[in-house]
């Protein structure tokens, strides 16, 4: 399966439709029953739960009733809403549903007429209005061939089985693309690739490898960042992490450092290697550059060029917002303890059942 593009709205989901109903009934109950549900935490929770049920009812019926006993101040409340009114209240949300689809289609570079099918997944897609607006945008009726609530869990289970050495599954490959453009910079500024500061461009296939050549005579730090914050979910930091190269001391001002950067199959960035190249007989360009991976391992003697002195450099990475190696080790130990406890519970349950069976069998034999 080849992914061509991504489109999303991280601030839009089924809860937003629940909130529309909550605000509607909160205002209605304020006018009819003279109670302020918003100011009461317990009443708000009960009303939100009732609104979620009403939303599900509206997916299959023309109207839904909200009936809650002793919601607040010992008052029983009752409200009713029709599907048409609900869709009018959600008009702005329905417009936002189409926008990620429009953005994904534009990034994919294909037209709507080339689409063969549109599949709806996610429990929120059961709202009839969502299916209707998507059908209008894609100019075809969306399909529902898989369970919309279980699809993500099933996909995760399949992916885990593919990665696990324990299970054997049918050969299947998913080729994803980079969801957001990534760049690198040093204390001298961003590292330019062609005409932009983007090293890994959004929409490129994963995995991807870049080799950059930097003219440095001592240790330095590479900082990875997302180029465009508009490509990220709101509130996401543009900083990815930093990679400290060195320390080292070059023997010549013409020395350069070749850094191999990898964006792996899972979208994780890493600096795979850094090599110091000392070559006094070469003319060095003062500007940093980027080159392809294919020529990196070429034998220099075959090109009748003077040999170069290579030195592998130390790399210390610091990724923002992730667990440290110590925290990861502790989490793995805790996982093993929990797995052992689960086995212990199962073993105890089996032995208890065996003991009960033995007691019942013995009692029956004695009774006979």
pLDDT value, residue 83:
93
Q: Are 239 and 223 in contact (CB under 8 A)?
A: yes
The answer on pLDDT for 305 being more than 60 is no
**pLDDT of 202-225, one tens digit each?**
888 888 999 988 888 888 899 999
Tokens coding 273: 């290697």
Omega prior to 247 cis, within 30 of 0: yes
Residue range 1-175 forms a domain whose CATH class is alpha beta
The C-alpha atoms of residue 255 and residue 188 are separated, in whole angstroms, by: 17
The C-alpha atoms of residue 21 and residue 51 are separated, in whole angstroms, by: 6
**pLDDT of 233-269, one tens digit each?**
877 888 898 999 988 887 777 788 899 999 988 888 8
The answer on pLDDT for 294 being more than 80 is no
Number of helices and strands in the chain (H, E): 7, 12
The C-alpha atoms of residue 68 and residue 188 are separated, in whole angstroms, by: 64
**pLDDT of 65-101, one tens digit each?**
999 998 888 889 999 999 999 999 999 999 999 999 9
Q: Edge-to-edge strands of the sheet including 315-319?
A: 189-190, 182-186, 218-226, 239-249, 315-319
Which residue in this structure is represented by tokens 């350069």?
A: 256
pLDDT value, residue 96:
92
**pLDDT of 8-63, one tens digit each?**
888 888 899 999 999 999 999 999 999 999 989 999 999 999 999 999 999 999 99
pLDDT value, residue 279:
64
DSSP class of residue 223? E
Q: Are 245 and 315 in contact (CB under 8 A)?
A: yes
pLDDT value, residue 84:
93
pLDDT value, residue 288:
55
Which residues, in sequence order, are bridge partners of residue 72? 75
Of 53-57, 298-302, 358-362, the one with minimum mean pLDDT is 298-302
Domain 182-319 grouped into CATH 3.90.550.10: no
Between 172 and 69, name the one with better pLDDT.
69
User: For the chain, what is the radius of gyration of the CA atoms?
Assistant: 30
Q: Are 99 and 61 in contact (CB under 8 A)?
A: no
The C-alpha atoms of residue 154 and residue 206 are separated, in whole angstroms, by: 22
- Please state, in angstroms and as integers, the Cα–Cα distance from residue 125 to each residue in 29, 87, 143, 147, following that order: 29, 14, 11, 11
């Amino acid at each position: 399966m080849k992914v061509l593009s991504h489109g999303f709205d991280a601030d839009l989901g089924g809860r937003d439709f629940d909130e529309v109903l909550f605000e509607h009934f909160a205002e209605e109950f304020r006018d009819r029953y003279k109670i302020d549900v918003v100011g009461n935490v317990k009443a708000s929770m009960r009303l939100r739960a009732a609104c979620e049920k009403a939303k599900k009812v509206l997916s299959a019926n023309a109207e839904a009733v909200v009936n809650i006993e002793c919601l607040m101040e010992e008052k029983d409340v009752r409200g009713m809403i029709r599907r048409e009114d609900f869709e009018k209240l959600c008009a702005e949300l329905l417009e936002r549903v189409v926008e990620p689809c429009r953005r994904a289609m534009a990034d994919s570079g294909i037209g709507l007429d080339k689409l063969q099918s549109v599949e709806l997944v996610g429990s929120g897609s059961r709202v009839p209005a969502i299916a209707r607006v998507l059908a209008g945008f894609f100019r075809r009726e969306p399909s529902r061939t898989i369970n919309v609530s279980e699809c993500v869990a099933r996909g995760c289970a399949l992916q885990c089985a593919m990665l696990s050495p324990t299970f054997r599954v049918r050969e299947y490959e998913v080729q994803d693309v980079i969801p957001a453009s990534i760049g690198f910079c040093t204390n001298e500024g961003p590292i330019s690739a062609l005409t932009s500061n983007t090293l890994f461009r959004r929409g490129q296939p994963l995995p991807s490898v870049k080799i950059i050549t930097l003219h440095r005579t001592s240790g330095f730090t590479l900082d990875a960042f997302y180029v465009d914050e508009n490509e990220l979910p709101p509130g996401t930091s543009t900083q990815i992490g930093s990679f400290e190269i060195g320390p080292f001391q070059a023997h010549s001002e013409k020395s350069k450092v070749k850094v191999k950067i990898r964006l792996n199959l899972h979208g994780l960035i890493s600096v795979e290697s850094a090599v110091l190249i000392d070559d006094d007989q070469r003319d060095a360009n003062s500007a940093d550059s980027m080159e392809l991976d294919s020529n990196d391992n070429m034998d220099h003697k075959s090109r009748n060029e003077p040999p170069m002195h290579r030195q592998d450099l130390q790399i210390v990475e610091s990724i923002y917002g992730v667990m440290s190696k110590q925290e990861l080790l502790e989490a793995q130990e805790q996982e093993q303890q929990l797995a052992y406890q689960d086995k212990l519970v199962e073993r105890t349950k089996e032995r208890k059942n065996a003991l009960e069976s033995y007691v019942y069998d013995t009692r029956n034999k004695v009774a006979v």
